Structure 1
Amino acid sequence: MIVGYQNNVLGYRAGLLQNRSVIKAGRYAVLEPDGLVRNVIPGFENCDITILGSPKLGASFVDYLLTIYPEGGNLQGFGAPGEETLIYVIEGALSVGTGEQVHDLARGGFAYCPPGVKLFLHNRSGVPARAFLYKRRYVPLEGTTPYIVVGDTEAMPWTEYEGMKDVLVKDFLPKDMAFDCNFHILCFKPGASHGYVETHVQEHGAYCLSGQGMYNLDNQWFPVQKGDYIFMGAYCPQACYAVGRDEDFAYVYSKDCNRDVALSDPSC
């Protein structure tokens, strides 16, 4: 059960104060819902918003968990110059503006905005909506230009992940070098796992959508479940097993891609 501000369970607890969250800044983190706090961010009205992954944790991006109440949202526009943004609807429905276009997104819907295009949010549905929000400074590549992408993951087919029939994936963005990141939903049937412990330069921010799992982070195992957030830093060994009985373990996550590693100027 999610407790804390997200379902108004406040004040003293019946038992000891305890929490499953684990923070190893720069390497990995597991944030459970209990203990998350509201953040006040200019432009967001009639919303509960929590900053999850951020540079203070060691990430090159910022992830947010957002609850948008009726008539709430961000009508000023989200995304500073040079930043790319994405919103993924977890529950409910939102009207999402990408520049001059407006899209009605339901559960599973998403919108990606490249630098120079602000993301506008408005909940006209009459009931609260929940969403996963992302921003990152875009890394340009000469001869390419990223563009707006709007889609519905509920309508997308699943693809086998590395040939495994019980591990499935959906990709949000096209395979195009113009994009320096991508977003995926990875789904493990009960008992399924990664084929190996991955170690790579990419970093991830992942929000658990369903089920339960055991996640290997830096060769330590942590229980995770629906509602948890996981940050995986560069070169952090990582893998998971899906546990539980009847529900798939699935999460939405970001990945940096399609770019070489930049070297600092030795003269600086």
Structure 2
Amino acid sequence: MTYYVPRGGLPGQDELTTDRAVVTDAYAVIPRRTLSDITASLLPGWEGMRMWVLARPLTGMAETFSQYVVEVQPGGGSEQPETDPGAQGVLFVVAGQLTVHVRELEHVLGEGGYAYLAPGERWSVRASGDQPAVFHWIRKRYQPAPGVETPGSFVSSDRDVEPTPMPGTDGRWATTRFVDPADLRHDMHVTVVTFQPGGVIPFPETHVMEHGLYVLEGKGVYLLNQDWVEVQAGDFMWLRAFCPQACYAGGPGPFRYLLYKDVNRHAALGLLFGG
């Protein structure tokens, strides 16, 4: 398995400005070239770190989550990465080695490593290899539900979880699920979706879930609202609720993306009505 890793830098003065970046009322596409030195951000309480913000809640757009690509130099990290006690998180490692301490337990995550970090959890991270650690960090404010326990933290790996084929696709479309879809404790899912060359989503999905899709590997053509958009490894797509979506995998190798979606909860009815 290979994962695209942004390396920063800056396009040369002789390169064209034209790119595929677009923001609409229904979706956004952030091409991989956008993740340059000039667009990187920093956070307090970290050492040897920079990050690219791919998504943040915006009124009228996707409103439930934020997503970062974080690069940490060897030995760098944070003793208190999460400052919001109501936030849960998922870390997905795409390069290097990341050591995650959850309470008194130590977990070493290599490429493809996955960690779910429960709301209110005490955790810290450190780049523990001799190369920078690069990982996705997806955050969502947890929504408690009556009679439902809060999920606990756990670690897993893309390399250890067998993808589940979608029915009737002969394995051309499969999803690596780190959480049981029937586990109502979870109000978000972060999965890895894999299409073999020529695999498709054969109809425009139109549903209540918001999405963040980061292309880990390969290329494809994605239907976003009314537009067919070419995407490749390193591109990010951001979809609001009910944005029609479908895709074709372009080949020659697998087309894989990291997918966020909000699940298993009532739709909020707005502040005026206590939602």
Q: Specify if TM > 0.5.
A: yes
How far 1:76 moved relative to its partner?
2.1
Partner of 2:48: 46
Distance 1:30 1:267, change over 3 A: closer
Matched, 1:35 2:40: no
Within the candidate set 71, 90, 93, 2:94 is matched to 90
1:225 paired with 2:232, answer: yes
CA 183–265 in structure 1, closer or farther in 2 if over 3 Å, else same: closer
Amino acid at match of 2:7: Q
When the two chains are superposed, the root-mean-square deviation of aligned CA atoms in Å is 1.8
Change (3 A) 1:77 1:62: same
1:258 corresponds to 2:257: no
Q: Note the C-alpha offset of 1:266.
A: 4.9
User: In 2 relative to 1, CA 185–79 (structure 1 residues): closer, same or farther, beyond 3 Å?
Assistant: farther
Q: Distance in 2 between matches of 1:186 and 1:80?
A: 29
Deviation of 1:51 after TM superposition, in Å, equals 0.6
Q: 1:79 to 1:205 in 2, by over 3 A?
A: farther
CA contact (8 A) 1:79 1:115 kept: no
1:145-198 Cα distance to aligned partner (Å, 9 max, x none): 211121112011121123312111110123311111111110011111112110
Alpha-carbon distance between aligned partners in 2 of 1:266 and 1:151, rounded to the nearest angstrom: 40
**Amino acid in structure 2 at the alignment position of 1:18:** T
2:145 to 128, 141, 144: 141
Preserved contact between residue 53 and residue 59 of structure 1 (Cα < 8 Å)? no
What is the one-letter code of the residue matched to 1:23?
V
Name structure 2 gaps, 5 residues minimum: 1-5
SS state at 2:67 partner: strand
Q: TM-score, normalised by structure 1?
A: 0.91
Per-residue deviation, residues 44-68 of structure 1 (Å, max 9, x unmatched): 3212201101113533110001111
Q: CA deviation at 1:214?
A: 0.4
The amino acid across from 2:159 in the alignment is: E
- From 242, 261, 268, the equivalent of 1:235 is 242
Aligned residue for 1:22? 22
1:179 partner amino acid:
H
CA distance in 1, matches of 2:168, 2:83: 37
Q: Helix, strand or coil: the match of 2:136? A: strand
The CA deviation at 1:267 is 6.2
Q: How many residues align?
A: 261
**1:176 and 1:241, CA in 2 relative to 1: closer, same or farther beyond 3 A?**
same
Q: Is 1:66 the counterpart of 2:53 in the alignment? A: no
**Deviation (angstroms), 1:89:** 0.6
Distance of aligned partners of 1:83 and 1:126 in 2 relative to their CA distance in 1, 3 Å threshold: same
What letter matches 1:88 in structure 2?
Answer: F
Code of the aligned partner of 2:177: D
1: distance between equivalents of 2:42 and 2:106? 25
Aligned AA (2:98): L
Matched, 1:168 2:174: yes
- Paired residue secondary structure (1:34): helix
> Is 2:219 the partner of 1:212?
yes
Q: Distance in 1 between matches of 2:63 and 2:216?
A: 21
In structure 2, the CA distance between the partners of 1:58 and 1:265, relative to structure 1 (3 Å rule), is closer
Q: 1:267 to 1:54 in 2, by over 3 A?
A: closer
In 2, Cα distance between the equivalents of 1:248 and 1:242? 7
Show the counterpart of 2:3.
none
Instruction: Find the aligned partners of 1:76 and 1:267 in 2 and give their Cα distance.
Output: 35
- 1 CA distance for matches of 2:227 and 2:235? 17
CA contact (8 A) 1:93 1:125 kept: yes
Inter-CA distance 77–7: structure 2 relative to 1 (3 Å threshold): closer
Report Cα offsets for 1:118-139 as digits up to 9, x if no partner. 4421011111121111111111
CA offset at residue 24 of structure 1?
1.5
